[in-house]
Amino acid sequence: EDQVTQSPEALRLQEGESSSLNCSYTVSGLRGLFWYRQDPGKGPEFLFTLYSAGEEKEKERLKATLTKKESFLHITAPKPEDSATYLCAVQAGSNYQLIWGAGTKLIIKP
């Protein structure tokens, strides 16, 4: 069964303290791995799509990487406005649906 697991569940950092969020997946035939940011009461906001192992993408303070078993979202020198829940999802096989992890709630203290 296709599965996505995110860790940690929650992460509290001081402003400027860099860290990484993990997304491990077990799927047959990965077609794409997606990272989204979600603020309370809002829909997920698209950040990155990664398609193959070794691929990396960057956007401002965020960098996403992909291996054959997991993806990391690295956040460098975070600011309080980076506080949100970060969700990972995969699309696999012949399915078009996204299979989601439960998310990592990131809190950045000033």
Partner 1 sequence: DAGVTQSPTHLIKTRGQHVTLRCSPISGHKSVSWYQQVLGQGPQFIFQYYEKEERGRGNFPDRFSARQFPNYSSELNVNALLLGDSALYLCASSLASGSEGYTFGSGTRLTVV
91 touches partner 1 by CB under 8 A: yes
Q: How many DSSP H helices and E strands does the chain contain?
A: 0, 11
Q: Which of these segments, 11-19, 36-44, 56-64, 67-75, binds partner 1 (CB under 8 A)?
A: 36-44
104 touches partner 1 by CB under 8 A: no
Q: Among 63, 88, 84, which Cα is nearest to 73's?
A: 63
The pair phi, psi for residue 2, each rounded to 5°, is -65, 135
CA-based end-to-end distance of the chain: 41
72 touches partner 1 by CB under 8 A: no
Q: Which of these segments, 12-20, 31-39, 54-62, 65-73, binds partner 1 (CB under 8 A)?
A: 31-39
24 touches partner 1 by CB under 8 A: no
Distances (CA, A) of 62 to 26, 41, 58, 86, 93: 24, 22, 6, 11, 28
Instruction: Please state, in angstroms and rounded to a whole number, the distance separating the CA atoms of residues 7 and 22.
Output: 5
> In the complex, what is the shortest distance from the CB of residue 74 to partner 1, in angstroms, rounded to a whole number?
20
How many residues at the interface with partner 1, by CB under 8 A? 25
Give the amino acid at 102: A
42 touches partner 1 by CB under 8 A: yes
- Residues in contact with partner 1 by CB under 8 A are 4, 31-32, 34, 36, 41-46, 49, 51, 87, 89, 91, 95-103
